[in-house]
């Protein structure tokens, strides 16, 4: 049976409430603090590593559309592509410059961050996107195969995370740090064992950095693409085809048809849209997360 009281009865039951003095001099008992100060009236800057093509290029262009000035990074061999991306960004009315650096080299990453601050202003956002892949049977891996994979995909991410964090801490205004993981950070693929292991490490580093950087108002997250139509996946498709006898393009089609719930191969812009969110103020209460963008292969 429902029990109801008239509103007047409820009010009369606690008459003293009407005469409680309002606290005007006391400080509030809690204060909402955001991970970042508002950047609406500040110059927003970002470094995007490995951004001469593919997902990195899409991220650089999207952040430029969002109002960021961009340091477009890649290795020296890819500088023509980086310069093209810079031109596209400047055509949007944003500032950008290319910077050649190998992320596996800590000193080069430190010099890149210094150059970005000098050219664009205080660093707000670091996107550690650069990475490599290799298709090879687990028992055929050489020590150098394993070493190089971790030098770029793990040491490279650590170099970017740590150097950006130190810069942001010195600035005292917080920031956003992002890293490139992968769906293989959740479920490894055969013949991609050391690549998978490196991306699991990115997830771990992201969580650890998130714990230690929170006190500095720096959020640290990662994004995990699936099967994307980029040069990296073209290579994976070709090499996997050699082991199975499949024609070029057939492996990606097979994976798309059998694995992806949404039934299409991803494009770089699918990933850059999520990165845009992770870089923006709407994700200020997110940290330590690895967000999957794969069309429905891995369900978390």
Residue ranges covered by each domain of the chain: 41-226+267-293
Q: What is the pLDDT of residue 55?
A: 97
Q: Which two tokens stand for residue 53?
A: 């093509």
pLDDT in tens, 63-84: 999 999 999 999 999 999 999 9
CB atoms within 10 A of CB 137: 10
Tell me the β-bridge partners of 224: 292
CATH for 41-226+267-293 is: 3.40.50.720
Closest to 72 measured CA to CA, from 91, 39, 104, 95: 95
Report residues of the chain scoring pLDDT below 70: 1-42
**Residue 44 parent element (H or E):** strand 44-48
Q: What is the pLDDT of residue 31?
A: 46
Pairing verdict, β 218-225 and 175-180: parallel
Q: What is the pLDDT of residue 42?
A: 67
Q: What is the pLDDT of residue 10?
A: 39
Per DSSP, the three-state class of 166 is helix
Rounded Cα–Cα distance for residues 223 and 127 (Å): 10
Closest to 131 measured CA to CA, from 30, 242, 56, 238: 56
* pTM, entire model: 0.84
Closest to 171 measured CA to CA, from 108, 109, 116, 208: 116
Q: What is the pLDDT of residue 230?
A: 74
Closest to 179 measured CA to CA, from 145, 128, 216: 128
- The separation between CA 125 and the C-alpha centre of its own chain, rounded to angstroms, equals 10
Active-site positions read: 195
Q: What is the pLDDT of residue 248?
A: 80
């Amino acid at each position: 049976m429902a029990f109801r009281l008239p509103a007047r009865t409820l009010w009369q039951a606690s008459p003293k409430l009407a005469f409680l003095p309002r606290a005007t001099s006391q400080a509030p008992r809690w204060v909402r603090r955001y991970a970042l100060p508002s950047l609406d009236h500040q110059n927003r800057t970002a470094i995007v590593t490995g951004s001469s093509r593919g997902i990195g290029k899409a991220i650089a262009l999207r952040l430029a559309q969002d109002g960021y000035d961009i340091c477009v990074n890649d290795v020296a061999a890819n500088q023509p592509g980086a310069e093209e991306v810079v031109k596209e960004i400047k055509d949007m009315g944003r500032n950008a410059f290319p910077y050649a650096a190998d992320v596996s080299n800590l000193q080069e990453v430190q010099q890149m961050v210094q150059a970005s601050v000098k050219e664009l202003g205080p660093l707000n956002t670091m996107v550690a996107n650069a990475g490599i892949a290799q298709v090879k049977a687990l028992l055929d891996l050489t020590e150098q195969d394993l070493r190089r994979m971790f030098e770029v995909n793990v040491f490279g991410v650590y170099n970017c995370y740590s150097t950006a964090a130190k810069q942001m801490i010195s600035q005292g205004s917080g920031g956003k740090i992002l890293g490139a993981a992968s769906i293989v950070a959740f479920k490894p693929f055969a013949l991609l064992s050391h690549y998978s292991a490196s991306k699991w490490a990115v997830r771990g580093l992201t969580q650890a950095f998130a714990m230690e950087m929170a006190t500095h108002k720096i959020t640290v997250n990662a994004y995990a693409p699936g099967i994307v139509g980029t040069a990296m996946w073209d290579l994976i498709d070709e090499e996997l085809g050699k082991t199975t006898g499949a024609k070029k393009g057939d492996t990606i089609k097979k994976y798309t048809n059998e694995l992806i719930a949404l039934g299409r191969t991803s494009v770089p812009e699918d990933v850059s849209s999520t990165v845009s969110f992770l870089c923006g103020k709407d994700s200020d209460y997110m940290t330590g997360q690895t967000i999957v963008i794969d069309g429905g292969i891995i369900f978390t």
